[in-house]
A and B are shown apart, each in its own frame.
Chain A
Amino acid sequence: MLINWYRFSSPVSFYPLAGSLSYAAGVLAALLAGVGLVIALIVAPTDATQGDAYRIIYLHVPAAWMAMFIYLVMAGWSAFALGFNTRLSAMMAQALAPTGALMAALALWTGAFWGRPTWGTYWAWDARMTSTLILLFLYLGVIALRNAIEDPRRADRACALLTLVGAINVPVIYFSVQWWNTLHQGSSISLTAAPKMAMMMAAGILVMTAAAWCYTIAVSLSRVQAIIVERERGASWLESLIAVREG
């Protein structure tokens, strides 16, 4: 059975698919978060050095990974939007920005509350923290730029450009702990070596990251539905069909 994927490049055709995926991802996110929180707060053992303060890791690592990953996905959609001049690619980038900004802000916030008891400070201008702050500013900048430009297609191009220019920041964040002598520790989980932490802790982080990922998919697909309705008004009879279904 072959699916004509190109059909979904039309915003109005993509709309129902976005709805189904969003719902499924939302349910999955809730389940994973439930399991993850039980591991994070109850099952996982207390850390020998940091005590229970370490439990912030189960929020901080997923938020930080999502902040970076969402930006890369945004950059991917932006490249598509610029390269193929498609509306839906730009709409997907537009839908991801607020959630990415939220993840970056939460990474900084949870990091601050983890840093205070362990490093003795809420903040330091170390390489990773500073570049993550820059990531947050980039997200907010893309959102502000979108609001500043009236014509949606011009806004698409401008935001796509800004997103792509800012993408260099993501590898800076990722490799900062290798390139610079920083306060931030090196990575604990690698794709190649065994994790330097208890299995239950690693499992908790992976489950919470999966939950964050599903949450991001659910929220951004729901948001893109709103964006499609905002921007595709008057496009076709499908619009009235959606309106009736929405009630």
Chain B
Amino acid sequence: MSEFLAMGGYAWYVWMAYGACALAIVIEIAAVRARRKRAFDELRMSAAPQTPSMLGARGSR
């Protein structure tokens, strides 16, 4: 296992490269999810522009 992590002495270079890619993917997926959530939240806001007390009266859509 430690041999695997050592990458023949090139550990710094290999893991900085693989680590950056992993991090970038995680961040991009999180960002797209956040964008989707924000878009749907705004859609829901604009589709139901009434005061909170009225929401219960409307029931489910």
Contact = CB atoms under 8 A, between A and B. Distances in A.
B43 A229 contact: yes
A244 B60 CA distance: 9
Interface in B1-22: 4, 7-10, 12-14, 16-18, 20-21
Interface of A: 41-42, 46, 51-53, 55-56, 59-60, 63, 98-99, 102, 105-106, 109-110, 113-114, 116-117, 215, 219, 222-223, 225-227, 229-230, 233-234, 239-240, 242-244, 246
B25 A109 contact: no
B17 A110 contact: yes
Given A52-B7, A52-B8, A226-B35, A240 B13 contact: no
A106 B28 CA distance: 12
B58 interface: no
Nearest to B13: A113
Interface of B: 4, 7-10, 12-14, 16-18, 20-21, 24-25, 28-29, 31-32, 35-36, 38-40, 42-44, 46-47, 61
B36 A56 contact: no
Contact of B8 (A46, A106, A109, A229): A46
30 contacts: A46-B8, A51-B8, A51-B9, A52-B8, A52-B9, A52-B10, A52-B14, A53-B10, A56-B17, A56-B18, A59-B21, A113-B12, A113-B13, A114-B13, A117-B10, A215-B25, A219-B28, A219-B29, A222-B32, A223-B32, A223-B35, A225-B36, A226-B36, A227-B39, A229-B40, A229-B43, A234-B46, A240-B61, A243-B43, A246-B40
Contact of B13 (A56, A106, A215, A230): A56
A244 B61 contact: yes
A229 B42 CA distance: 9
B4 to A, nearest CB: 7
B17 A60 contact: yes
Nearest to B44: A243
A102 B24 contact: yes
Contacts of B12: 113
Given A53-B14, A113-B16, A243 B9 contact: no
Nearest to B3: A52
Contacts of B35: 223, 226
Contacts of B44: 243
